[in-house]
Amino acid sequence: MGSTSAENHGTGDNGTSGVGRRALIRRSAALGLLSVPTMSFLSACASGGGEEQEKAKSGKKTEKNPLAVNDTAQMEFVLFDGGFGKEYAEDAVKVYEKNFPKAKVKFSATQKIQSTLQPRFNQGNPPDLIDNSGAEQMDMGVLVGKKQLADLTPLLDAPSYDDPSKKVRDTLRPGIVEMGQFDGDPVWIMYYAYTVYGVWYSQKALDSLDEQYPETWDQMLAVCEKAKKKGMAGWTYAGKYPYYVPFSLYPMIGKVGGREVLDAIDNLEPGAWKHPAVKTCFEAYYELYKKGYILKGTPGLDHIQSQTAWAQGKALFLPNGSWVENESAKVIPADFDLAVSAPTGIDSSDKLPFGTIWASGGEPFIVPAKAKNGAGGMEQLRIMLSEESSKNFTSKVKSLTAFNGGTDGIELTPGLKSGVAALDKAGENVVNPRLQDWYVQLQKEKIGVSGLGEMMAGRITPVEAIKKIQGFADEAAKDSSIKHYKHQ
């Protein structure tokens, strides 16, 4: 589960990005990588039917307590226990306790977010702050649709922890605020980590083949052929959770056909999956299967097994998110020279340049609408979005945070350094498919497992996969029990 769980974060802003990148991310609104989920797929959240718990009274609003936290009220924080571990959160809790010595913090970490917390939402007594991530993530679209989340605007408009002259929102990476929105204004989710998705590999292994990272698909096939001759597969992936494949496939579709193709897919537009760019990219990936470039047995591997085989040099390329560096730290050799690249394209006719990549917020934190001490939950997030907490997270888990900075004085690990370089190269060409936070079940179980998983295992053809996936998207579009979202 760590998988998505851990979202490692590439940097999002380099001083050159400016307004263009902001506008672009607003347009293509970042997706929210739900932490690596797995198939357990949360069922819909029921709406609250229980007794609402009594709210803590507000405290005194001061310069040091801008959210007017009640300094004696308990604050409960439930963290997803995944690839990022829990130490970074425990360290931030200590700061809260130091600032409010009379308040008790009840902190816990679990992988079973939905089964543990859904009943509490339904009873009206949820915790004050939740990292809603992992395989058992609660469906964000459902929580928003049922008005079960608090609007985080008070947090965003509060003075930042380090500099009272700046609001919290002014200290965040581009796209983070927009990602927490579903229909315009209220911000329901604070994505804490910042993830770079792409194709991960060992620079050392690539050098041993005397090759560079391939920019066109013909070059990709040539590199895979060379690897195969040396006894190494070209690719592996989380076969049991094939919704990892989109981490490189979706940005490739955006590169080949333009970001409007991804927007149409997110918007569940009729025929969106029948766009020629989708067919071209599906056929390219299917070729990896047909030419024997995928590690034998991959369809039966989970994310940890596929990452381990890749770290052992059994396969060259792996579609993943930047949490992979921390999650696989125990199996990646010291001289591996971990690197990430944007997806390989088809050729020079692609709409967007090589370097087009998917990067966005991960680790979605929420404050329930019925939290007893919602102000305390938001204050804990304000602490986590300080430079000190951000640096602590980055140095401990090899990922960037939503805080725009926090890397000064930290020696970046190979994967993180490579992620920062990939973002620099991408410039404005960052795409953020939102399917996986707007329609979790559609993305993971249907498109991922029943569509892409079957195609990559060679059990259905690209044409059959597209037909199947378009059918799933059409069903979701017509299903009145699902709240629908669109790019603004």
CATH of residue 179: 3.40.190.10
Examine residue 416 and state whether it is found in any structural domain, yes or no: no
Examine residue 422 and state whether it is found in any structural domain, yes or no: no
**Amino acid 51: pLDDT:** 55
Shared-domain flag, residues 39 and 178: yes
Shared-domain flag, residues 44 and 166: yes
Question: CB–CB of 345/215 below 8 Å?
Answer: yes
- Contacts of residue 430, defined as CB under 8 A and 6 or more positions apart, other chains included, come to 12, 21, 24, 25, 28, 175, 356, 357, 358, 359, 423
Examine residue 484 and state whether it is found in any structural domain, yes or no: no
Indicate whether 4 pLDDT > 50: no
How many CB atoms neighbour CB 480 within 10 A?
6
**Amino acid 52: pLDDT:** 61
Shared-domain flag, residues 67 and 154: yes
- Number of domains into which the chain is organized: 2
Question: CB–CB of 419/8 below 8 Å?
Answer: yes
Shared-domain flag, residues 446 and 457: yes
Shared-domain flag, residues 176 and 323: no
d(CA 245, CA 268): 20
Indicate whether 73 pLDDT > 60: yes
**Amino acid 45: pLDDT:** 41
Question: CB–CB of 224/293 below 8 Å?
Answer: yes
Examine residue 130 and state whether it is found in any structural domain, yes or no: yes
Q: 447 phi and psi, to 5 degrees?
A: -65, -45
Shared-domain flag, residues 274 and 337: yes
Q: Vertex 274, ends 269 and 275: CA angle to 5°?
A: 90
Examine residue 269 and state whether it is found in any structural domain, yes or no: yes
Indicate whether 29 pLDDT > 50: no
- When pLDDT is cut at 50, 70 and 90, the band that residue 7 belongs to is very low
Indicate whether 382 pLDDT > 60: yes
254-301, pLDDT tens digit by residue?
Answer: 999 999 999 999 999 999 999 999 999 999 999 999 999 999 999 999
d(CA 202, CA 188): 38
Least confident of 49-63, 130-144, 346-360, 452-466: 49-63
Question: Which is nearest to 190 in space by CA: 156, 214, 143, 159?
Answer: 156
Work out the end-to-end distance of the chain between its first and last CA atoms, rounded to an integer number of angstroms: 32
How many CB atoms neighbour CB 476 within 10 A?
19
User: Residue 368 is encoded by which pair of tokens?
Assistant: 């329930």
**Amino acid 422: pLDDT:** 93
- Residue 26: in which H helix or E strand, if any? helix 18-27
332-379, pLDDT tens digit by residue?
Answer: 999 999 999 999 999 999 999 999 999 999 899 999 999 999 999 999
How many CB atoms neighbour CB 204 within 10 A?
14
Mean pLDDT of 2-11: 34
**Amino acid 316: pLDDT:** 98
Question: Which is nearest to 378 in space by CA: 189, 195, 194?
Answer: 189
Q: What percent of the chain has pLDDT over 70?
A: 89
Partners of residue 233 on adjacent β-strands = 315
Shared-domain flag, residues 189 and 241: no
d(CA 281, CA 390): 37
Question: Which is nearest to 435 in space by CA: 17, 34, 24?
Answer: 34
Name the residue with higher pLDDT: 142 or 164. Answer: 164
Examine residue 370 and state whether it is found in any structural domain, yes or no: yes
Shared-domain flag, residues 269 and 247: yes
**pLDDT mean across residues, the chain:** 88
147-182, pLDDT tens digit by residue?
Answer: 999 999 999 999 999 999 999 999 998 778 989 988
Which of 42-51, 136-145, 214-223 tops mean pLDDT? 214-223
Examine residue 430 and state whether it is found in any structural domain, yes or no: no
User: Residue 166 is encoded by which pair of tokens?
Assistant: 């700046």
Name the residue with higher pLDDT: 487 or 471. Answer: 471
Indicate whether 24 pLDDT > 50: no
Q: Sign of dihedral through CA atoms 403, 41, 245, 253? A: negative
Shared-domain flag, residues 103 and 209: no
Shared-domain flag, residues 179 and 204: no
User: Residue 367 is encoded by which pair of tokens?
Assistant: 């404050």
Partners of residue 357 on adjacent β-strands = 430
Mean pLDDT of 106-112: 96
Partners of residue 129 on adjacent β-strands = 77
Shared-domain flag, residues 404 and 446: no
Question: Which is nearest to 265 in space by CA: 117, 432, 17?
Answer: 432
Enclosing domain of residue 96: 2-195+360-410
Amino acid at 96: Y
Shared-domain flag, residues 351 and 366: no
Indicate whether 10 pLDDT > 60: no
- When pLDDT is cut at 50, 70 and 90, the band that residue 185 belongs to is confident
Residue with tokens 């079957």: 454
Examine residue 169 and state whether it is found in any structural domain, yes or no: yes
